[in-house]
Structure 1
């Protein structure tokens, strides 16, 4: 059976990031909650998703660095554990993720717990991440080409399409699954890739799993 050719090729894109300070810092949970409500979404992104990219060789991934600071600097273990256990992958927008983090902190603050303050120099400094997306030399029009490209693109490219893709329309769907379903009618393959939890494995591990799924699909499609 000949491979389906897409009308529009999948162009693999990588990303570069520019990190800037916001000039805001928090010394305790009250200030943390206050500023989390004000900072731009680029800051929410930096302190959750960008943290994963920095530590992508560790499995399981470390928690977001808000949870890390609350637990290790403030030593507020109860709320730190709640923030660390937050399933980032289920949020389809940074706004929804922000609301969940703030809600968890505010609920904890409502208990009138005596708050700990960060030692001087260990305050939580709010940063923000500005992203630049650039096309690579790799593009695919069918499943075989797509698989070959996946073997060569950088982890930054994978990160862009897996993590960033979920935050772009259609919300909650990574770029790979969206293209495979809409351009190649590979619905089942798209579902398998979409079900992978990118937060519990390295990017290289994720690459291998996706390639395995595609190669299995190509093998099954061969005529007997």
Structure 2
């Protein structure tokens, strides 16, 4: 979806996301178990800003930045309008970079570009955190999801999500992609509906080793 299409559903999406606030809270709690006192966190594709709120509840002294392609989403979240493939931050700016329910919207080439950008703005020993929809979810659950999306947003948006999930990476494929970029997996978990991957930024030595490697998808 392009920026204007996200703008058109921003208010409804905010209400939809609120129904899943617990998911964002659990992700924030998982981050606490991996990094105790991060100074700066970036939420890529921040949407209506619920994850930022939950992170601030757990890390009140941490700076949390959010970017989104949608101007209206950023009005709701007080985020920065920006593209995940061209982050408006300097190298080594963040302790954690999060992609929460956003990568499934991207083509394979844009996933790689956005992950490279995430790596660029991560500090040494920083953590990349991904939570997204698990395309291996049981059929009864996917049917339920698409039906609820159709009821809430309309059939067109439901079909859009279905097509994006069908073309999205499996969790293990995404993990291999991260490994080829030099990330080291710290933890990965699959659930019925979604999955988590937490990966550490590669060292400078590993960066040099992989600088000439061609990434396959």
Q: TM-score range by the shorter chain?
A: under 0.3
User: Bigger relative contact order, structure 1 or 2, given CA contacts below 8 A and separation 6+?
Assistant: 1
> TM-score with structure 1 length normalisation?
0.25
Higher strand content, 1 or 2 = 2
> TM-score with structure 2 length normalisation?
0.26
Larger Rg: 1
